[in-house]
């Protein structure tokens, strides 16, 4: 009489697992806890990464920002400590001599200004930007549009205001586009509202800024040809870290300072910042999976041990089944299916519990990030459990196959 995988088989599996409930529960708890910790840490890591990434929201990952500073080395008869100034010609030089660059965007700034509208006021920072600056720091427009190249060329007195400025000046919350605000002695027409929430910004937070055309800001604040900073992004596939030396060389040749003087030019390379963050979370994810899989393997060892005990206790039963016609393959499949059933039952509970706890964490953070595991991560976990169940039951099953009816009767 061959043993088939039918309803009776599943009933036998259940009976076997519940013969010693305490031992089964303890072993199942090991699998449950290991999978719960693995998936909870994976989901938590995903959420933390999203929350950290929000700080870089809208900012180009391949940006170099340069600022002129005091020299720290003497050069061609000039003493150290000399200050030099970026200017508009530097923008054109970099665009011409470095075809690897996609955007070269100058900026002038002014802090401590006050914007007013019908009795409402807000402390703001002024950013004079070029028409392609949105490729460096992408706005999240609630209303209107961003500054265009035509605004810069035609010196239009227009502006884009940040989120906090908008809330201060327009507490009623309607569309302010087309209205005029006063900044100092000049009136600017609002053409957009930027709702960006990223914490990385150039020369002040986007939410507290009034952005206007670069040409208008240069005139208003008497900057002439001077530029405060220059932001550059590379074309696709270009590593910005490889361009720093050439940028320093071009600027040093025109402004007469030592090209090896690192303090003469302040360089902020966002590519390196994003690389550090990516490597950090890559290492965290590796550690999470290492600890989680190690815990699951410990649980699998527990399953293997309990199946060994089960086989020892069922020696007579297995011998009788062999005597009435069960072949070794039937015994093998029975033990392995019992092992898989135990791991899947405990693991499925761990998956459900981890999802519930992650939902609670997500609610506590007011849904700022998705603290969850993906569908395919859950499927991968289930497949991993099945494999561990087979491996955990393999040794006990092989031992059960070697039981002979005569030996079983002798034990009885």
Q: How far apart are CA 306 and CA 295, in angstroms?
A: 17
* 370 is a domain residue: yes
* 96 is a domain residue: yes
Instruction: Please check whether residues 304 and 253 belong to one and the same domain.
Output: no
Structural tokens at position 11: 């009933």
* 164 is a domain residue: yes
Q: How far apart are CA 411 and CA 185, in angstroms?
A: 103
Instruction: Please check whether residues 244 and 345 belong to one and the same domain.
Output: no
Q: How far apart are CA 236 and CA 403, in angstroms?
A: 66
Instruction: Please check whether residues 338 and 248 belong to one and the same domain.
Output: no
* 45 is a domain residue: yes
Tell me the pTM.
0.68
* 2 is a domain residue: no
Instruction: Please check whether residues 92 and 188 belong to one and the same domain.
Output: yes
Instruction: Please check whether residues 73 and 109 belong to one and the same domain.
Output: yes
Instruction: Please check whether residues 242 and 279 belong to one and the same domain.
Output: no
| Structure confidence by residue, pLDDT tens digits, 71-100 | 999 988 888 999 999 999 999 999 999 999
The pLDDT assigned to 409 comes to 53
Q: How far apart are CA 262 and CA 27, in angstroms?
A: 61
Instruction: Please check whether residues 345 and 287 belong to one and the same domain.
Output: yes
Of 243, 271, 299, the residue that ends a domain is 271
The pLDDT assigned to 355 comes to 87
Q: How far apart are CA 343 and CA 382, in angstroms?
A: 9
Instruction: Please check whether residues 93 and 230 belong to one and the same domain.
Output: yes
* 69 is a domain residue: yes
The pLDDT assigned to 88 comes to 92
* 220 is a domain residue: yes
* β-bridge partners, 229: 67, 107
Instruction: Please check whether residues 89 and 170 belong to one and the same domain.
Output: yes
Domain that holds residue 254: 63-271
* 216 is a domain residue: yes
Rounded average pLDDT per 10-residue block, the chain, 412 residues = 46 51 65 80 81 71 89 88 92 93 92 91 92 88 93 94 94 92 92 81 81 93 91 88 90 91 88 79 82 76 73 68 68 74 80 87 79 81 78 71 59 51
* β-bridge partners, 159: 190
Q: How many domains does the chain have?
A: 2
3-state class of 63 per DSSP? strand
The answer to whether the Cα torsion of 396, 402, 405, 406 is positive or negative is: negative
Instruction: Please check whether residues 231 and 358 belong to one and the same domain.
Output: no
Structural tokens at position 277: 């963050």
- Residue 361 CA, chain-centre distance (Å), reads 17
Q: How far apart are CA 85 and CA 239, in angstroms?
A: 26
The pLDDT assigned to 405 comes to 60
The pLDDT assigned to 121 comes to 94
The pLDDT assigned to 168 comes to 94
- The 3 state secondary structure assigned to 383-398 is HHHHHHHHHHHHHHHH
Of 253, 271, 289, the residue that ends a domain is 271
Of 210, 238, 271, the residue that ends a domain is 271
Instruction: Please check whether residues 106 and 157 belong to one and the same domain.
Output: yes
What count of Cα atoms within 13 Å lies in the side-chain half-sphere of residue 397?
21
Contact present, 217 and 168 (Cβ < 8 Å): no
Long-range contacts of 367-370 (CB under 8 A, 24+ apart): 368/50, 368/51, 368/54, 369/46, 369/47, 369/48, 369/50, 369/51, 369/54, 370/46, 370/47, 370/50
Instruction: Please check whether residues 151 and 207 belong to one and the same domain.
Output: yes
* β-bridge partners, 59: 137
């Amino acid at each position: 009489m061959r043993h088939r995988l039918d309803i009776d088989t599943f009933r036998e599996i259940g009976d076997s697992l519940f013969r010693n409930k305490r031992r089964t529960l303890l072993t199942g708890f090991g699998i449950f806890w290991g999978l719960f910790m693995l998936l909870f840490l994976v989901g938590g890591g995903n959420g933390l990464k999203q929350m950290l990434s929000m700080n870089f929201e809208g900012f180009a990952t391949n940006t170099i920002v340069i600022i002129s500073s005091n020299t720290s080395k003497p050069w061609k008869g000039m003493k150290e400590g000399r200050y030099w100034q970026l200017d508009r010609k530097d923008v054109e030089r970099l665009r011409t001599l470095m075809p690897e660059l996609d955007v070269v965007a100058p900026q002038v700034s002014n802090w401590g200004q006050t914007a007013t509208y019908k009795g409402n006021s807000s402390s703001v920072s002024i950013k004079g930007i070029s028409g392609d600056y949105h490729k460096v720091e992408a706005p999240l427009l609630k209303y209107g549009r961003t500054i265009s190249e035509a605004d810069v060329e035609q010196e239009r007195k227009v502006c884009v205001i940040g989120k906090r400025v908008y809330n201060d000046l327009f507490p009623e919350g309607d569309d302010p586009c087309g209205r005029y605000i006063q900044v100092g002695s000049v009136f600017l027409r609002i053409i957009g509202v930027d709702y960006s929430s990223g914490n990385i910004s150039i020369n002040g937070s986007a939410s507290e800024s009034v952005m206007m055309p670069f040409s208008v800001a240069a005139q208003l604040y008497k900057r002439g040809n001077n530029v405060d900073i220059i932001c550059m992004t590379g074309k696709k596939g270009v590593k910005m870290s490889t361009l720093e030396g050439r940028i320093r060389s071009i600027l040093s040749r025109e402004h007469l300072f030592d090209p090896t003087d690192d303090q003469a030019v302040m360089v902020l390379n966002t590519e390196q910042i994003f690389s550090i963050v990516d490597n950090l979370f890559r290492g965290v994810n590796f550690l999470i999976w290492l600890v989680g899989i190690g815990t699951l393997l410990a649980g699998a060892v527990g399953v293997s041990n309990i199946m060994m005990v089960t086989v020892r206790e069922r020696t007579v039963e297995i011998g009788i089944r062999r005597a009435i016609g069960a072949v070794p393959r039937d015994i093998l499949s029975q033990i392995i299916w019992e092992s898989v059933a135990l791991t899947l039952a405990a693991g499925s509970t761990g998956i459900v519990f981890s999802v519930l706890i992650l939902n609670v964490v997500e609610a506590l953070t007011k849904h700022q990030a998705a603290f969850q595991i993906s569908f395919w991560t859950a499927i991968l976990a289930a497949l991993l459990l099945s494999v561990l169940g087979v491996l955990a039951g393999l040794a006990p099953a092989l031992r059960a196959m070697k039981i002979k009816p005569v030996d079983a009767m002798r034990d009885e």
